[in-house]
Structure 1
Amino acid sequence: MGQKINPLGFRLGTTQNHHSFWFAQPKNYSEGLQEDKKIRNCIKNYIQKNRKKGSNKKIESDSNSEVITHNRKMDSGSSSEVITHIEIKKEIDTIHVIIHIGFPNLLKRKGAIEELEKDLQKEVNSVNQRLNIGIEKVKEPYRQPNILAEYIAFQLKNRVSFRKAMKKAIELTKKADIKGVKVKIAGRLAGKEIARAECIKKGRLPLQTIRAKIDYCCYPIRTIYGVLGVKIWIFVDEE
């Protein structure tokens, strides 16, 4: 049986919840959807812009596991940085935006939230609705596939071997309470002329079990040889 369905969409309503919570009439649904996309893109662009400003920060690295720390310069070309996901809850007069982030020091600096609210207000263009932005730190950052994908992207752009980067990313998951992980990377690996795919798996990964809570992400990496695609599956627990 072909496993071609997105693991997150496959589990909606069971172990996976929607990241947007609001109601709209059918004729207004597309407007609300576009508004959500603008909000998410604005937040990611804001973090990317501020990451570039702080690109002179020192890179801290552990000699054994090369752990990413919150003050480390991540991939400055990345748009999502260390955001795992963004929840949007809309009420009649308020839009609640909850940013789930692994290392929230950037958004905790003085005036960051107010500046972000101004940028979002310009994108939303809603006079009758006020914005309420909240920051929620992820308890186990290396349990999130987005953060692992950005770690791999950072390593590949620094000319680290793709196999070494994948193995180090799996090593980082030892710090989190998970039951299985799978990392797959495809494209012109190591600059070869013919594209191929490489995969590393550790532990269990029951993709066909709906009650199994699986986190998944698909992440593009732009290198000098072309675009590489990274997919990461993490088996968290089983209900």
Structure 2
Amino acid sequence: MAHKVHPKAFRIQGIADWNIRGFYRKNTAQYFEEDFRIKEFLSKKLKDASVEDIKIERVDNKINVIIETARPGLIIGRGGEGVGKLKAMLEKELLQEKSRTAFFETKGKKISLPAVEIKIEIREVRNPWISASLVAQFAAQQIEKRTPFRQVLKRTLNKVMGNKEVKGARIEVAGRLNGVEIARTEWLKLGQLPRATIRANINYAQAQAYCTYGVIGIKVWIYKGEQFKEENQ
């Protein structure tokens, strides 16, 4: 049987890049845990802010958090006060997490990570319809509003294919579609989608729609043509 591979992980040495970048001399697992907590906290806080991705860059004891969103004004707030509040909440959450978690305790040794300086950078996503993450979030919102899933697939795919950068796209939904008793998988595809080509620039994301009859899983692939490493840099 074929094995499913994440499209981005498949291309990480070719045209894709890591979401978390940094070098850890020791306590690597603890730093990974801290990075995971940062992404988890921000994802929950900014659930309705059309966030495409959250990237983390570490240099010494400084953390640069890059938030890519289609609605930057909602996060920045008036006079930038939104970013300041978000930074304060994140610092407080990390401090509380370090004090209460047992993950940082090993046999006969309690590990404490040094204090870090956090900087939050907001980047605008100008066209949300070529972002697989934002398209998946849109489809999930429509399904949660009880829109028939076939209508959601067709409408969303037509909007995606209306962009000249897009060469092909596929949207897949799985679960108790329209509330039926037996779960199944349905998908719709337009254009090209060479998933086995490493230099193919494929944007992939998944989301969940929480309905009264269960959870509907949504996967989105958007193909933007072939790309070489030099072009990405």
Say whether the fold is shared (TM-score over 0.5).
Answer: yes
TM-superposition CA deviations, 1:87-138 (whole Å, max 9, x none): 1111113111110111212112121000011011123337642111100001
For the structure 1 residues 207 and 236, does the alpha-carbon distance in structure 2 shift closer, same or farther, using more than 3 Å as the test? same
Q: Which one-letter code corresponds to 1:38 in the other structure?
A: R
Q: Residues 188 and 226 of structure 1 are in contact (CA less than 8 Å); yes or no, is this contact kept in structure 2?
A: yes
Task: Name the structure 1 match of 2:2.
Answer: 2
**Amino acid of the structure 2 residue aligned with 1:121:** E
**Alignment of 1:189 onto 2:177:** yes
- Structure 2 Cα separation of the partners of residues 139 and 179 of structure 1: 19
Structure 1 length as normaliser, TM-score?
0.82
Give the whole-Å Cα distance in 2 for the aligned partners of 1:137 and 1:34.
27
CA distance in 2, matches of 1:139, 1:236: 16
Deviation at 1:3, TM superposition (A): 5.1
Sequence identity percentage: 31
Unaligned stretches of 5+ in structure 2? 96-112, 228-233
Q: Which amino acid aligns with 1:113?
A: V
| Unpaired runs of at least 5, structure 1 | 52-80
* Partner of residue 104, structure 2: none
Rounded Cα–Cα distance in structure 2 between residues aligned with 1:44 and 1:131? 17
The residue correspondences of 1:171-190 to structure 2 (distance < 5 A) are 171-173=158-160, 174-175=162-163, 177-190=165-178
Partner of 2:117: 130
Kindly provide the amino acid, as one letter, of the partner of residue 189 in structure 2: K
1:116 corresponds in structure 2 to 86
* CA deviation vs aligned residue, 1:71-94 (integer Å, no higher than 9, x gap): xxxxxxxxxx51111111111131
**What is the 5 A alignment of 1:65-84?**
81-84=49-52
Say which is worse superposed, 123-132 or 91-100, in terms of deviation. 123-132
- Structure holding more helix per residue: 2
Q: Is the 8 A contact 2:61 2:114 kept in 1?
A: no
What is the DSSP-based 3-state SS (H/G/I as helix, E as strand, rest coil) of the residue aligned with 1:160? coil
Aligned length: 207
- Secondary structure at the counterpart of residue 177 of structure 1: coil
Match of 2:107 in 1: none
User: Aligned with 1:107: secondary structure?
Assistant: helix
- Return the match for 2:128 from 134, 141, 145: 141
Give the aligned partner of residue 150 of structure 1: 137
Give the 3-state SS of the residue equivalent to 1:15 in structure 2.
Answer: coil
Partner of 1:221: 209
TM-score (norm 2): 0.84
